[in-house]
A and B are shown apart, each in its own frame.
Chain A
Amino acid sequence: MAHVSDFLKPSDLQRISNLQVLARQVVEGFTSGLHRSPHKGYSVEFKQHRQYVPGDEIRRLDWRVFARSDRYFIREYEEETNLRSTIILDRSGSMNYAGSAAGGVTKYEYATKLAACLAYMMVHQADGVGLTTFDTRIRRHIPPRSKVSHLRVILDELEKGEPGGETDLGDVFHDLEAKLHRRGLLIIISDCFGEVANFIKALAHFRHARHEILVFQIWDRDELEFPFKSWTQFDCLEQAGVKHLLDPAMLRQSYLENLATFRESLIRGCRRHNIDLVPFCTDEPYANGLAAYMTRRLGRR
């Protein structure tokens, strides 16, 4: 049985315990929570007055207004709901890369910790959290729940998984959309490798379904800086047998340029669809990055 402490250090937990994952846009949920709900109903927080139209429930008429103005107004309240978030974790081969700067921590390990952390935060703010792992296709889909015991299910899944296979975000997301019935927060933890256009298209799909999307992009320092010097054979983690023997120093500049282009197009695509793209590097403590992001996000609400 996996426990939160298997994934998260007490210091990290302390660091994030004060944080809340807040949806920036309205989410649909059942219980009252921190998040705005599109469903208007009985609630404490007044939202607006609206002129009565035939068909409205009589009980929702604001009689005080009627008494004052002799006109019918409907009183509308903002309904608070719980957040249904789904963590979509990339379990493709490329996530298995462990650079020297990260001290042997693979991107996947880093990603699981990040996922665990998020799940923990969600559960603790009484929001529902689900987990979907995928590589070429969806490996496991745990629908969102807000019970504390549900956290264990997620942690078990996180512990079990072993990355492998290729990434194809486009198809996976297409399949996944069918499984997400209600709009909510989608947290994608991936290195986002693959065709940028496909990826953005898939994200656009989610956005169309009115999901809010957060992309936590996991990088290794080696991937960002390409620090190799001597002759190196690069074996592909996703496709067996694909290997290149080369002098990395000769290619570094071109690689970095290519990388910059890739990141730039990714950032541009995300911004276009109002998606937060948050890069994480495995040699930095995830809690720091997460905390910084959450604080920033809260400020923007």
Chain B
Amino acid sequence: MNFLNMAMLGGVLAGSIPLIIHLFHKSRFKVVKWGAMHLLTAVLRTNQRRLKIEQWILLAIRCAIPVILALMMARPMWQGAASLLGNRPTSTAVLLDNSYSMEAGRAGTSNFSLARDETQRLVGELKRGSEAYVFLLGEGAGLLDESTRDISRVTQALDKVGSGYGVARVPAGLEFVAGVVGKMTEGTRQVVMLTDFQRLSFPASEDKAFGQAIGRLKQLPVPPTITLWDVGAEVQENIAVESLDFSKLMVGVGQKVQIRANIRNYGETARNDFRVKLKVDGRDKATSQVLLGAKAQSQVLFTQVFDTAGSHVVEIEIEDDAVKADNSYLASIAVRDKLPVLLVDGAPGATPDDLKSETGFAQIALSPFAAGKVEQADLIQATVVPAEALTAKNITDAVVVVLANVAKLGDEPLKALEPFVRQGGGLLVFPGDRTDPAWWNGAFGNLAPLPLGPLAGDLKEGAPTMGLTSQRFDNPALEIFNDPQNGTLSDVAIKAWYRLKPSEHSGGPEDPIILARLDSGDPFLVEKPCGEGHVIACATTLDAEWSNLPARPSYLPLIQRLCVYLASNIYPPRNLRIGEQLVGFLPVASAGKNAVLTLPDTSTVEVPVVKKGERGVVEYPQTRHPGLYTLLPPGGTPIHYVVNAERSESDLAKLSASEIKSLAKTHGLQLVHSAAEFKALDKIQRYGHELWKWALLALLVLLFGELILQQKFARGRGKS
């Protein structure tokens, strides 16, 4: 109990006035010499006790009236046990939503800046000695590493916080904060979440994860009060670049690459001439206009040729709107000069480009422009080596090695092949009539994805052939065939094939994965991860001897993509999601030195290069901020990495007011919409409810009660 107007409490002394009046009256009595005493004594005898009690009751009520009046005027506040803690420091954890949907706003003020200002104020107004912790929902991390009593540190750090981060993962954030709050020391705890209640972040009020997270907070030994703060206005109109795809997995210098951007309009307004810009390495390259219906999606296609090898940054940019973070989409692409592929021919022809040779078709398919003497650049530079002439040097010079109908390899090349694969090299194996199953299943067994079984099918003219099962391909090399426009593998006719015997799954990282199957159910393409690299084995030959594959239009993309896919394992991914680890492979010579990483906010960090196997590796896990990261290896050329936020945030749809209310109600949370509301709520929590209304009610009850009781008592009950 607390009083806003302490001075009025003095009025409680007025409670003694009725008592004084009572005593005064009692002392200044009249004396009457009375005759009819027998009438009076009889009444007194039966009523004395009652009279005494009634007098006391009336006196108590009369004394209570001025006391309550004084209390009422002193404006009492009730806050239960909290009353003792009203002015004590608190442990406050704020969950600040800085996901990029918070960039939306009205009248030039983004919801985020509103939320940040309110957080600043909230933290700034904490009582002396309070502990504060701010968790950034968009980043999924705390503003500072741990809670602090140095409030100025928090407010300073808040000044630097921006929005435009990834999706706000509310349950995860609450779980994290529950851990932090559990370690905070002040007894009065509060958790405040400032968010725009984007539908995406709050799927439904009965959401399990959210309920569990709230449950964790409430199960703390000293549970905090949890307040949801609905910040800012809902904005409907938003256009976002959803994704950016390249037509090729790997791009060579001078090669045409198609860049496809998906643009989505989340708003209700259709746009006829929406401008989409392509930028490469920061320079405008092309502009396109698209038609964007309301709530519709559209694709923009750009063609780009890269003149130089190395790391390039491609950016799709659209017009400014409420949410800036999704107005551009960055992608890093590695442009290679040449991709050396070594074709090891187990049955060479008379000339290197003899189509009768085992690798004839493959060579043309890998370097079609060179074969056709066309003035265009091939990415892949295919070299053919007869199996007998293969050396370890041949292998290490290449990025991908293709073994075609090789009976067996000599010890030296085989010894070189395994570390080559384990360090990220690609191996593509096609068996044939010369292949020695004993060698395959024996010495080659470590690398072979599956053991070679018996030969199946019939090579005779007119014998039935086997097709490929129509299926959806998950492997990036085969993904292209999911779209029938890009060709199909289902028209392939295979006369003969080896039965690759599927082995038991061990659950290990090097378990073979079947990429494609024949209609008979036998594996057709099998992939086996092997260290950093991969081995892919086919069940049939590379040439046209056992199948009509080389004659199909799908042969060229299949072979090319398989080689590029196997080669791309040399580079760790450069297009990352928020929180994914940034990894760079550098020459082993740079191990022990530091590489310089430029972060999106243009600050730089030094990252050590660590020797792993035969190369130097750079690792940087804190990719919390979306944007461009540039890694400058010691004495090398810069490598670009791009971290993109998930674009689902672009859907600015907000929970309806009733949904927010029911969310708060279901989980027993407080809900505020403004600083004033929060302050009022905080005041009640801190200092309690004003009680003067109840006091007034009590006063009226007492006044009427006194009147009624007096009448009733005077009328008397004793009819005796």
Chain A: residues with CB nearer than 8 A to chain B?
93-97, 107, 191, 193-194, 220, 223, 228, 230-239, 242, 244-247, 249-255, 257-259, 262
Q: Mark B12-41, 1 if CB is under 8 A from A, else 0.
A: 000000000000011011111111111111
Chain A residues whose CB sits within 8 angstroms of the CB of B716 once the complex forms? 251, 253-254, 257
Instruction: Tell me whether B47 and A251 are in contact (CB under 8 A).
Output: yes
CA distance A252 to B713 in the complex (A): 10
Instruction: Tell me whether B30 and A250 are in contact (CB under 8 A).
Output: no
Q: Does B43 reach chain A (CB closer than 8 Å)?
A: yes
For A106, give the chain B residue with the smallest CB separation: B35
Chain A residues whose CB sits within 8 angstroms of the CB of B107 once the complex forms? none
Chain A residues whose CB sits within 8 angstroms of the CB of B283 once the complex forms? none
Q: A193-B38, A238-B37, A242-B37 are in contact. Are A254 and B43 (CB under 8 A)?
A: yes
Chain A residues whose CB sits within 8 angstroms of the CB of B30 once the complex forms? 228, 230-233
Quick one: which of B706-720 are within 8 Å of A by CB? 713-716, 718-719
CA distance A72 to B41 in the complex (A): 68
Q: Mark B477-519, 1 if CB is under 8 A from A, else 0.
A: 0000000000000000000000000000000000000000000
Instruction: Tell me whether B40 and A194 are in contact (CB under 8 A).
Output: no
Nearest-Cβ distance from residue B32 to partner chain A, whole angstroms: 5
Contact of B31 among A93, A220, A235 (CB under 8 A): A235
CA distance A194 to B715 in the complex (A): 26
Instruction: Tell me whether A228 and B714 are in contact (CB under 8 A).
Output: no
CA distance A94 to B713 in the complex (A): 29
CA distance A92 to B674 in the complex (A): 88
For B46, give the chain A residue with the smallest CB separation: A254
For B719, give the chain A residue with the smallest CB separation: A257
For B36, give the chain A residue with the smallest CB separation: A223
Q: Does B118 reach chain A (CB closer than 8 Å)?
A: no
Nearest-Cβ distance from residue A100 to partner chain B, whole angstroms: 10
Q: A254-B716, A255-B43 are in contact. Are A231 and B26 (CB under 8 A)?
A: yes
Nearest-Cβ distance from residue B40 to partner chain A, whole angstroms: 6
Instruction: Tell me whether A255 and B39 are in contact (CB under 8 A).
Output: yes
CA distance A250 to B711 in the complex (A): 9
Q: A232-B29, A257-B719 are in contact. Are A107 and B51 (CB under 8 A)?
A: no
Instruction: Tell me whether A232 and B38 are in contact (CB under 8 A).
Output: no
Q: A244-B44, A251-B44 are in contact. Are A220 and B35 (CB under 8 A)?
A: yes
Chain B: residues with CB nearer than 8 A to chain A?
25-26, 28-44, 46-47, 51, 54-55, 713-716, 718-719
Most-contacted residue by chain A among B29, B46, B54, B55 (CB, 10 A): B29
Q: A253-B715, A257-B716, A262-B39 are in contact. Are A246 and B33 (CB under 8 A)?
A: no
For A92, give the chain B residue with the smallest CB separation: B35
CA distance A113 to B322 in the complex (A): 113
Instruction: Tell me whether A94 and B36 are in contact (CB under 8 A).
Output: yes
For A220, give the chain B residue with the smallest CB separation: B35
* Additional 9 contacts, C-beta under 8 A, given A97-B33, A223-B36, A231-B30: A94-B35, A228-B32, A232-B31, A245-B29, A251-B43, A253-B715, A254-B716, A257-B719, A258-B43
Nearest-Cβ distance from residue B41 to partner chain A, whole angstroms: 7
CA distance A253 to B47 in the complex (A): 11
Nearest-Cβ distance from residue A250 to partner chain B, whole angstroms: 6
Instruction: Tell me whether B31 and A259 are in contact (CB under 8 A).
Output: no
Chain B residues whose CB sits within 8 angstroms of the CB of A228 once the complex forms? 30, 32
Residue contacts A-B, CB under 8 angstroms, 14 given:
A94-B35, A228-B30, A230-B30, A231-B26, A231-B30, A235-B33, A247-B55, A249-B714, A251-B40, A251-B47, A254-B718, A255-B40, A257-B718, A257-B719
CA distance A194 to B34 in the complex (A): 14
Instruction: Tell me whether B35 and A223 are in contact (CB under 8 A).
Output: yes
Instruction: Tell me whether A193 and B26 are in contact (CB under 8 A).
Output: no
Chain B residues whose CB sits within 8 angstroms of the CB of A249 once the complex forms? 714
Nearest-Cβ distance from residue B28 to partner chain A, whole angstroms: 7
Chain A residues whose CB sits within 8 angstroms of the CB of B43 once the complex forms? 251, 254-255, 258
Instruction: Tell me whether B713 and A250 are in contact (CB under 8 A).
Output: yes
Instruction: Tell me whether B37 and A236 are in contact (CB under 8 A).
Output: yes
Nearest-Cβ distance from residue B39 to partner chain A, whole angstroms: 5
Instruction: Tell me whether B35 and A238 are in contact (CB under 8 A).
Output: yes
CA distance A228 to B25 in the complex (A): 13
CA distance A234 to B43 in the complex (A): 13
Chain A residues whose CB sits within 8 angstroms of the CB of B47 once the complex forms? 251, 254
Instruction: Tell me whether A93 and B54 are in contact (CB under 8 A).
Output: no
CA distance A144 to B716 in the complex (A): 49
Chain B residues whose CB sits within 8 angstroms of the CB of A251 once the complex forms? 40, 43-44, 47, 51, 716
Instruction: Tell me whether B41 and A244 are in contact (CB under 8 A).
Output: yes
Chain A residues whose CB sits within 8 angstroms of the CB of B34 once the complex forms? 97, 234-237
Chain A residues whose CB sits within 8 angstroms of the CB of B713 once the complex forms? 250
For B29, give the chain A residue with the smallest CB separation: A231
Q: A228-B30, A231-B29, A251-B44 are in contact. Are A237 and B39 (CB under 8 A)?
A: no
Nearest-Cβ distance from residue B38 to partner chain A, whole angstroms: 6
Most-contacted residue by chain B among A97, A239, A253 (CB, 10 A): A253
Most-contacted residue by chain A among B26, B39, B41 (CB, 10 A): B39
Instruction: Tell me whether A233 and B28 are in contact (CB under 8 A).
Output: no
Instruction: Tell me whether B55 and A233 are in contact (CB under 8 A).
Output: no
CA distance A254 to B589 in the complex (A): 116
CA distance A97 to B35 in the complex (A): 6
For A232, give the chain B residue with the smallest CB separation: B30
Chain A residues whose CB sits within 8 angstroms of the CB of B719 once the complex forms? 257
Nearest-Cβ distance from residue A192 to partner chain B, whole angstroms: 10
CA distance A245 to B48 in the complex (A): 11
Instruction: Tell me whether B26 and A245 are in contact (CB under 8 A).
Output: yes
Nearest-Cβ distance from residue B56 to partner chain A, whole angstroms: 12
Instruction: Tell me whether B31 and A237 are in contact (CB under 8 A).
Output: no
CA distance A246 to B715 in the complex (A): 16
CA distance A215 to B28 in the complex (A): 40
Most-contacted residue by chain A among B28, B29, B32, B34 (CB, 10 A): B34
Nearest-Cβ distance from residue B170 to partner chain A, whole angstroms: 69
Instruction: Tell me whether B714 and A258 are in contact (CB under 8 A).
Output: no
CA distance A246 to B52 in the complex (A): 10
CA distance A132 to B644 in the complex (A): 128
Instruction: Tell me whether A252 and B714 are in contact (CB under 8 A).
Output: yes
Instruction: Tell me whether A234 and B40 are in contact (CB under 8 A).
Output: yes
CA distance A144 to B35 in the complex (A): 30
Contact of A237 among B25, B26, B33, B46 (CB under 8 A): B33
Nearest-Cβ distance from residue B25 to partner chain A, whole angstroms: 5
CA distance A228 to B36 in the complex (A): 14
Contact of A250 among B28, B33, B54 (CB under 8 A): B54
Nearest-Cβ distance from residue B368 to partner chain A, whole angstroms: 121
Instruction: Tell me whether B39 and A250 are in contact (CB under 8 A).
Output: no
CA distance A192 to B327 in the complex (A): 113
Chain B residues whose CB sits within 8 angstroms of the CB of A194 once the complex forms? 38
CA distance A220 to B39 in the complex (A): 14
Q: A244-B44, A255-B43, A258-B43 are in contact. Are A250 and B714 (CB under 8 A)?
A: yes
The 7 A-B pairs with the shortest beta carbon distances in the complex, nearest first, are: A94-B35, A97-B35, A253-B716, A234-B34, A231-B29, A254-B716, A254-B43
Q: A250-B713, A254-B718, A255-B43 are in contact. Are A233 and B37 (CB under 8 A)?
A: no
Nearest-Cβ distance from residue B197 to partner chain A, whole angstroms: 66
Chain B residues whose CB sits within 8 angstroms of the CB of A107 once the complex forms? 35
Most-contacted residue by chain B among A193, A220, A251 (CB, 10 A): A251
Instruction: Tell me whether B51 and A232 are in contact (CB under 8 A).
Output: no
CA distance A238 to B35 in the complex (A): 7
Q: A246-B44, A249-B714 are in contact. Are A95 and B35 (CB under 8 A)?
A: yes
For A255, give the chain B residue with the smallest CB separation: B43
Chain A residues whose CB sits within 8 angstroms of the CB of B26 once the complex forms? 231, 245
CA distance A239 to B37 in the complex (A): 10
Chain B residues whose CB sits within 8 angstroms of the CB of A244 once the complex forms? 40-41, 44
Instruction: Tell me whether B39 and A259 are in contact (CB under 8 A).
Output: yes
CA distance A254 to B41 in the complex (A): 11
CA distance A228 to B46 in the complex (A): 20
Nearest-Cβ distance from residue A200 to partner chain B, whole angstroms: 15
Chain B residues whose CB sits within 8 angstroms of the CB of A232 once the complex forms? 29-32
Nearest-Cβ distance from residue A229 to partner chain B, whole angstroms: 9
Chain A residues whose CB sits within 8 angstroms of the CB of B37 once the complex forms? 94, 234, 236-239, 242
Nearest-Cβ distance from residue A136 to partner chain B, whole angstroms: 15
